[in-house]
Chains A and B, each alone.
Chain A
Amino acid sequence: MLTDDKRIRIITGHYGSGKTEFAVNYTMKLSQKGHKIAIADLDIVNVYFRSREKKKELEAAGVMVIASSIEGAGLDVPAVSAAMTMPAREHSFDYIVDLGGNDVGTMVLGRLKPILDPAEVDFFMVVNAYRPDTSTPEGVIEQKEKLEYSSGLKVTGFINNTNLIRETNAQCLLNGDAILREVTKQTGVPVRYVSYVEELMTEEVPRGLAGELFPMKLYMRQTWM
């Protein structure tokens, strides 16, 4: 259950792993549980497909959205808002932090880290085994270590988000599962969720996958994408 996770969920992962789609879905789901939620879009890497594009939908669900201190979808400035520290300090908030990709994206955490209590933090690493750099257990471990080194945090769980977007089938999730099971064996870090977009799954979700099933809606893509 989402409510079993720590109060602060930091979503990280390799570039293009699907962090933002997962983070937005996670936030929308959690908002249905009546929690007071804030999401911070700290993506300083991408210029398209950022969670701030969904500000309206998120705010309609009662979520506080923190993005750049400089407003504008067309801006390419690595500026984050000082408001990002508030939900970390304010214990009444459930806080979801959507980071930019790779170790570069986690650099922003430097601002947050001194005030984080590790006991309050889940550091989730989203993995899509169809991304070339995370297509093997060794690749995933290498990326995990880079993310941990640059963030100073330890990954507490993996999100198996293995997909080929509109060509996703059951085998995708099984392939990701096999790779992440090996990673868990070597690192001890469990798979927390298996995420997939319900409307794109043409086949039944296989049983016995590591991690809790996490069906998603497609928020970040238009129908023609």
Chain B
Amino acid sequence: MTPKSSLGEFEHHVLLAALRLGDEAYTTSILTELEERTGREVSAAAIYIALRRLETAGMVTSRMRESSERGERRERRYVRVTPTGIALARGARQRLLSLWDGLTIVTGGHRA
């Protein structure tokens, strides 16, 4: 696959949610995180596909790990954002900020 140089909007969201969750990032925890933060329903399948794509592009790594939850042992695929992923997220943020810079119409300036 060709290395990714930019992120799609949804991939961007997933990556940020994974970063927020840290060691507890897996498909459904990302789903809950995104829903809580964005207030929109998110498809588990879309997250799953996005994570696989990000993994192929080297932005996250994943591994199976067992965890114990309310006495139940559960196996999950946990993801961790790689330095490349962090760098790309940072680049995406920079680009967004530079686009937002000075947009007072939207941010509540003169003619709101």
A binds B: no
